[in-house]
Amino acid sequence: MSRSSATGDPSGSGPASSTSPAPHDESPAGGRRPETLPAPTERDSAPPPERVRRPDGTARSERATRSDRLNSRRRGRLLGLGVLCCLLLLSCALSILIGAKLIPPGAVVDALFASSRTENNVIIYELRIPRTIAGVLAGSALGLAGALMQGYTRNPIAAPSVLGITQGAGLAVVLAVFTMGITGMLGFIWFSFAGALISALAVFLIGSIGKGGATPVALALAGAAISALLQALTSALVLLDRQSLDTYRFWKVGSIAVSDMGLIQRVLPFLLLGLVLGLASAPGLNALSLGDDMAAALGHNVARSRAIGITAIAVLVGSAVAMCGPISFVGLIVPHIARYFAGPDHRWLLPFAALGGSCLVLLADLVGRIMARPSEIQVGVMLAMIGAPFFIALVRRRRLMRL
């Protein structure tokens, strides 16, 4: 676990450092890449690090062709990462350019460099830019958290909303309304953050108390039980109190229309911490996907890597939900889409999921803004309407990436 495979730089340039052949760390696995279980991909054992890459057209041993294939695969993934980064930049640009009020691109560019408070500048600075930043951050956090959850529970259905973490945040928000009459995201932020953290902790503890420790099945079921319990409490409160119901039904859809940089600034440090922790747990996840015993035999501290993973999940989901409400669907679907393009190796899968989450959230929000001008359709709804058909089409393809 000493080798952190990512710098945690969410811009995507960081994870590329993990593309060099795995160096020998203290694990006896050396350069063996733990590919996940039954994935019908070609075995992908990295060449030993002392081998220099031959120029094309030299020795044609079987080993060389294998490494050629490997290199082409790596090139493909790098290309994918590059495409994702470009897509993210494009989405950001569009998200700032397009909105309810038509502002010509020239004026937008002027606004970015001007400091006068014209109407356009205010719209750009106080509405569109925060919204874009929130979309990037929440999308990457939820995508990454979903991928981590599916990895740790080895269950394709695992996601923040399935394992009770979103429900924890929701209950905290409803409690805040119910007991103190708080409204507005800025008032909710610490409540939903605390709710997510506490429920994640509860899931992890309950899932790991019993005999055999935190097995995937135990974690998944603990999450399901906690999720049902919290949802029941929330529903009861909401049915008792009309104001809570009104707040809750709008909060629950989730929206990245954050009009306040203060909100983002408060959440940002936690979110970055979560991203770093999450990306750093890739090697551990790879080992765990071989089974706990194998991971332990390879020299991984199973309990520690699980604890780090759960912490990352809690912090990521907590900050994303505190900022934008529970945007469903990202955490569930994005990891599967990322797995389709990146393969089962978590060192690739996690950055793909983070970037993919950002792109998907921004684009969905954009479409929601364009379709219903001058009002808008919430991003969570739009995500499902766009994302689900795309996802189902992907699933129908021949090459299905299993967990």
**Binding region for another protein (CB under 8 A):** 155-158, 162, 206-207, 209-212, 215, 217-218, 220-222, 224-226, 228-229, 231-233, 235-236, 238-240, 242, 245-246, 249-250, 252-253, 328-329, 332-333, 336, 377-378, 380-381, 383-385, 387-389, 391-392, 395-396, 398, 400, 402
Residue 158 Cβ, how far from another protein at the closest point, in Å?
7
State which residue, 100 or 233, has the beta carbon closest to another protein: 233
Distance between CA atoms of residues 392 and 403, nearest Å: 17
Given the complex with another protein, which of 190 and 340 has the nearer CB atom?
A: 340
CB of 249 to another protein, least distance (A): 5
Q: Which is nearer to another protein, 162 or 276 (CB)?
A: 162
Instruction: Give the three-class secondary structure for 174.
Output: helix
Min CB(397)–another protein separation in Å: 9
CB of 345 to another protein, least distance (A): 19
Nearer to another protein, 24 or 250 (CB): 250
The CA-CA-CA angle for residues 176, 203, 301, to 5°, reads 135
Q: How far is CA 96 from the centre of its chain?
A: 22
Please choose, from the candidates 343, 338, 370, 340, the residue with its C-alpha nearest in 3D space to the C-alpha of residue 357: 338
Residue in this structure with the two tokens 């050629």, named with its chain if needed: 68
On the CB side of 403, CA atoms within 13 Å amount to 19
Nearer to another protein, 1 or 229 (CB): 229
CB of 26 vs another protein, minimal distance in Å:
30
* Closer Cβ to another protein, 252 or 347, answer by number: 252
State the DSSP H helix or E strand holding residue 283, giving kind and residue range, or none if neither.
Answer: helix 282-288
Amino acid at 182: I
Question: Considering the complex, what minimum distance in angstroms separates the CB of residue 154 from another protein?
Answer: 10
The whole-angstrom separation of Cα 316 and Cα 200 is 11
Say how far apart CA 135 and CA 151 lie, in whole Å.
24
